[in-house]
Structure 1
């Protein structure tokens, strides 16, 4: 049955096209004309019983098919009328019985139906469809942001959000299609007028000039059939036009049209009662027939007496209990808890940056944020939380703020109509000088139309969405450890349990709790170590946890297991690893100063030694960065944890790795040695 249904529509459309060129016998034409009228009536009834336009989403395509069918039937009937003077019983009945065999009556009725369809219904429906399409498209960004806000707030899940986004897109597509479908209906009305005029003139000419009929006989034979043909096609067209108007005007209804009509017209007795009294009062006018108005007035008064008037209530004042509940709801524990909840990651944009979020205007910021989440996950192994994006009218123009756990973590600007040109030779370009938000490079916001000139000046040009996304990515990387929550760790453990159940079951909860696993993973992320390889991480933790659960020991055991994977991100394309090393005697002094505290291992050094160490590392790092190199500080495993804890406080961009973590395939290139006296190049 399903295959037959799928094939029926394509076969039907092809058959309709063939009807335009292949003659049809009169009995078959009668059958198709009857089907056309019945199908149009069915479409009208369905459109009256739907609750919302999207329940009849196929309607625009159905209008096109119905219009094509009527035009094909018009062509077929015209061929029979002009060639045989007979086009079947249906057209003959409309030409003789319906209009009484009078050409003038038929033309008048045909013109009236055409005016009703073309001037009144079709024009109105087309205007409503056009306005509906425009308003629906304008409202799409707000609806999309509302869906994202509900998703980030936890009010809906990912599947519900996906379904809502699909409905919003489908609604916009539907109203856009209806705007075009109304043009089909209007074109059908114009075509019906033209075809009827051609039939009248052509039939009269054929009857008089080819068949030798008298003018009266030609009019009686051909013109009445032509008008009957026009009426047969115009009645289904009128039904489809009415259905179109009903579809596009169904706005805030909650039920079918019949139920809404009775419920809303009969909501109050008083208007129905007044209408009945006014109808009866009309009999007092001299000359008006009394019986019709008395009957109508009596029906209205009877209906008013039968109506049960429902008091009009406001949802906020429905009942005292409901009012108390409504008043208490904002202060209920659930509502307060919902407002207290802090989103891990938020992006607030000023009013003039909303266009970057609006996909209808080419905004791709949300798509880039989604891509960023995937990229960060692949690089670090951290699935960052959903980024709640919202507009803030209190922000100055072109400003954006990145919030981390309820605290502003970074701010920036992205002026409309500009691009960010990054480079040192931008004095010849107009614009506002600034600093690139991630690396602090010299930059300038230049007009977008000068992008080509900025590139020719040797600048790197970045669009506004890329600036915000890059800034967000840097904030995420710098604060990756703070974004890894206990629930996230639970998800990661369950992910490992599905693929390697023995590894996960051995580690937790038998050896380590989720909190301890979280601390280890946060420590790794804090030192820019990817946690993607969870299986090896968990295996190393299981072995170490049987000996000790000391945090530094656990972290070093994991780092030792990961080995060269830690230094791999710092290896250049030509397989070089640029390192800064420590003088052996100086490293021995550091090792002797290692002390164990509650917060982990630290270096107990005097101020002068710390200053020498920091200055030596700083100078060598700055020299390397001027050459666009990303070096690492290499030391022994015994001192690495304490040294890294010290270096992160003053030089967070310098990673500290142990000799065990150096890539064995990379070519080591030393940039200098830090000694107790100073840095030796």
Structure 2
């Protein structure tokens, strides 16, 4: 069966090749041998039909590759028209007639006024020569240039898709072949468009020859009057020119349509109508404009009003269609989101261990559901990815997935942040408002709902989004609800980062280091310290917001001291001293000066003598009035420096630092406590106050 089909296909191709060859030979014969008027009429009609066929074909073509033979067709049809021009000229100059087709065209266009026919002929010539042919030629030239310039990039794209497995070897071969054909097409069109321009020029020359030659021959040789000859040959000349120019114009338009097609895989009509009449606003505006014109004195009211009504009705129908389409897309989108959510929950249920608690979770009220809408560019899901990356870069910890779920027991606008199943933060958001941070001691030009910024406890107002521009003009800080939640989440995670660093996370960090620093990891664990002991040191660092990004230095320090020291608190102090550049950096001012609050030597001595060890770490055991006096002085100095905007730390002796940190951490969590050994020698120090001794 396949053999028979192959033979039939080959026979058909041979017949088509022979037919085209015969047609080209006939064109050459037409130039030399005179044709009778009947044959000329048939060939003129055939030329007109062929031109319409080519024009319609270009309108329905989806790609230039579907009509890649067009440049050659352009040459053949041009030669065919020139052959017909020569044959008609021979008949006009010899017998004073050129058949019924030319005579009918002449009578239809000129009627009783030869000047009208001449003007129409010239207009058609100008349209073809200056507008269509010139534009098509320029587009062909530019398309050929850009097609050649883009060829290396397209070739690389094909190679890339093939290498990544997106396409097969056969697909790549076909795409390369199509790319080569497309480039050849635009290159051929760049030259073939000159045929049309030359054809138009030759047609006007032949027309002038017909007019002048016919008048001279029949007035001089046949004794015809000048006006009679002008009237007869003027009509014949115009008819001949129109019969030649109209098919030429059709093919010129087809050429322009083909080379100006964009890269969409649709026919001209199927892409034009949706693009031209798909915007209801445009149709409504058009209806209004036409309606206004209908009332202008002198304009035909009915015609303008009819078009205005049609445009308005079309706009209404398009608007209804767009709304239905939007509703359909929204339903499909919701269905897709629901399917993804169901799949995600199913995967989550399959992978999670029974009774396992999420390390980090956010629960939201039903009024905040849109903040987790994955179809929007700004959503909490995208921000979670950014947060995990930031903590990996800034603190050096690898956060696990952050679960986000709705909780109908919460208020509509409430959310809760949980760490290991325990509620650590709670706040309220208004999705239709923005949060204005209140400047200290200043009034604001807008009204709103009094609130507290949840991450840092600043006074704030929930204002309408329409007032945001006014607040921005006054230099006030305004943040959107999503940013409020994200900032709150980041600060909550930062405060509890030490709780999120378990043995599994430490093991993952060490595995990541082994590729480049396997020596220090293998030396430390398990020969010097156990994994749990390393975890305790890292947790102690994170409690005081010390990043563990420099794991190599941390592990080398633990390897140096771990053979003789097993106390995690003391090991932490040794690591802190090794990380002193990292520790002191956030507390320097613009001049790289460290502002410190010191403790009186007598108070230092008293604290040193009262330190006791416990399972929770070192702590000074002092009288209640002594502790109150210490707290009051620290609070007074700390608040004073904060109001002045001076970054500062509490600088104490290395021996007392862990104990003082444990004592002050609850009341002053944001106050950094450094030891003298943690300040590099090159850092300038400025004393801003002193905690006095207790009398």
- When normalised by structure 2's length, the TM-score is 0.53
Measure, in 1, the Cα distance between the counterparts of 2:188 and 2:329.
34
Which of 428, 444, 466 aligns to 1:449? It is 466
Deviation at 1:13, TM superposition (A): 5.9
Partner of 1:502: 519
Measure, in 2, the Cα distance between the counterparts of 1:644 and 1:82.
90
The one-character-per-residue Cα deviations of 1:455-481 (angstroms, maximum 9, x if unpaired) are 334421111111001000110111011
Measure, in 2, the Cα distance between the counterparts of 1:140 and 1:22.
52
SS class of match (1:637): coil
Deviation at 1:397, TM superposition (A): 1.7
Any residues of structure 2 matched to 1:295-334 within 5 Å, and which? none
The alignment yields a C-alpha RMSD, in angstroms, of 3.3
Partner of 2:368: 353
1:579 aligns with 2:610: no
Deviation at 1:141, TM superposition (A): 4.3
Partner of 2:609: 592
Which consecutive unaligned segments of at least 5 residues does structure 2 have?
Answer: 1-169, 193-246, 253-321
Measure, in 1, the Cα distance between the counterparts of 2:566 and 2:529.
8
Which of 678, 687, 692 aligns to 1:661? It is 678
Residues 461 and 140 of structure 1, relative CA distance in 2, 3 Å threshold = farther
1:513 aligns with 2:513: no
Residues 496 and 552 of structure 1, relative CA distance in 2, 3 Å threshold = same
Tell me whether 462-471 or 508-517 shows the greater mean CA deviation: 508-517
Any residues of structure 2 matched to 1:80-229 within 5 Å, and which? 133-143=329-339, 145-146=341-342, 155=351
The one-character-per-residue Cα deviations of 1:165-188 (angstroms, maximum 9, x if unpaired) are xxxxxxxxxxxxxxxxxxxxxxxx
Q: Contact 2:448–2:464 at 8 Å: present in 1 too?
A: yes
Which of 446, 452, 457 aligns to 1:440? It is 457
Measure, in 1, the Cα distance between the counterparts of 2:502 and 2:335.
35
Measure, in 1, the Cα distance between the counterparts of 2:429 and 2:616.
41
Measure, in 2, the Cα distance between the counterparts of 1:631 and 1:4.
69
Measure, in 1, the Cα distance between the counterparts of 2:354 and 2:188.
65
Measure, in 2, the Cα distance between the counterparts of 1:129 and 1:666.
67
Any residues of structure 2 matched to 1:557-576 within 5 Å, and which? 557-576=574-593
Deviation at 1:362, TM superposition (A): 3.7
Measure, in 2, the Cα distance between the counterparts of 1:20 and 1:469.
58
Which of 391, 395, 398 aligns to 1:376? It is 391
SS class of match (2:602): helix
Measure, in 2, the Cα distance between the counterparts of 1:461 and 1:127.
35
Partner of 1:410: 425
SS class of match (1:650): coil
Which of 451, 474, 492 aligns to 2:491? It is 474
Which of 370, 377, 380 aligns to 1:365? It is 380
Deviation at 1:423, TM superposition (A): 1.2
Partner of 2:569: 552
Residues 605 and 460 of structure 1, relative CA distance in 2, 3 Å threshold = same
Measure, in 1, the Cα distance between the counterparts of 2:499 and 2:662.
17
Deviation at 1:391, TM superposition (A): 2.4
Measure, in 1, the Cα distance between the counterparts of 2:538 and 2:626.
31
SS class of match (2:618): strand
Residues 378 and 351 of structure 1, relative CA distance in 2, 3 Å threshold = same
Residues 147 and 429 of structure 1, relative CA distance in 2, 3 Å threshold = farther
Measure, in 2, the Cα distance between the counterparts of 1:513 and 1:410.
34
Partner of 1:192: none
Partner of 1:671: 688
The one-character-per-residue Cα deviations of 1:639-681 (angstroms, maximum 9, x if unpaired) are 1111111111221111211111124443322221001149xxx
Deviation at 1:137, TM superposition (A): 2.5
Q: Highest Rg: 1 or 2?
A: 2
SS class of match (2:670): coil
Residues 352 and 21 of structure 1, relative CA distance in 2, 3 Å threshold = farther
Corresponding residue pairs, total: 403
The one-character-per-residue Cα deviations of 1:37-69 (angstroms, maximum 9, x if unpaired) are xxxxxxxxxxxxxxxxxxxxxxxxxxxxxxxxx
1:484 aligns with 2:501: yes
The one-character-per-residue Cα deviations of 1:67-102 (angstroms, maximum 9, x if unpaired) are xxxxxxxxxxx99x999xxxxxxxxxxxxxxxxxxx
Residues 128 and 493 of structure 1, relative CA distance in 2, 3 Å threshold = same
Residues 367 and 435 of structure 1, relative CA distance in 2, 3 Å threshold = same
1:7 aligns with 2:22: no
Measure, in 2, the Cα distance between the counterparts of 1:152 and 1:617.
48
Measure, in 1, the Cα distance between the counterparts of 2:323 and 2:694.
84
Measure, in 2, the Cα distance between the counterparts of 1:565 and 1:551.
20
1:392 aligns with 2:401: no
Q: Contact 1:540–1:561 at 8 Å: present in 2 too?
A: yes
Measure, in 1, the Cα distance between the counterparts of 2:529 and 2:659.
23
- When normalised by structure 1's length, the TM-score is 0.54
Q: Contact 1:564–1:664 at 8 Å: present in 2 too?
A: no
Deviation at 1:528, TM superposition (A): 1.3
Measure, in 2, the Cα distance between the counterparts of 1:633 and 1:148.
48
Measure, in 2, the Cα distance between the counterparts of 1:606 and 1:520.
30
Residues 407 and 497 of structure 1, relative CA distance in 2, 3 Å threshold = same
Q: Contact 1:401–1:408 at 8 Å: present in 2 too?
A: yes
SS class of match (1:672): strand
Partner of 1:527: 544
Measure, in 1, the Cα distance between the counterparts of 2:636 and 2:337.
50
Q: Contact 1:145–1:390 at 8 Å: present in 2 too?
A: no
Q: Contact 2:395–2:547 at 8 Å: present in 1 too?
A: yes
Tell me whether 470-479 or 385-394 shows the greater mean CA deviation: 385-394
The one-character-per-residue Cα deviations of 1:565-614 (angstroms, maximum 9, x if unpaired) are 11111112331222111111211111111222333222121112111111
Q: Contact 1:632–1:655 at 8 Å: present in 2 too?
A: yes
Measure, in 2, the Cα distance between the counterparts of 1:566 and 1:151.
42
Deviation at 1:430, TM superposition (A): 2.0
SS class of match (1:360): coil
1:631 aligns with 2:617: no
Measure, in 1, the Cα distance between the counterparts of 2:385 and 2:251.
65
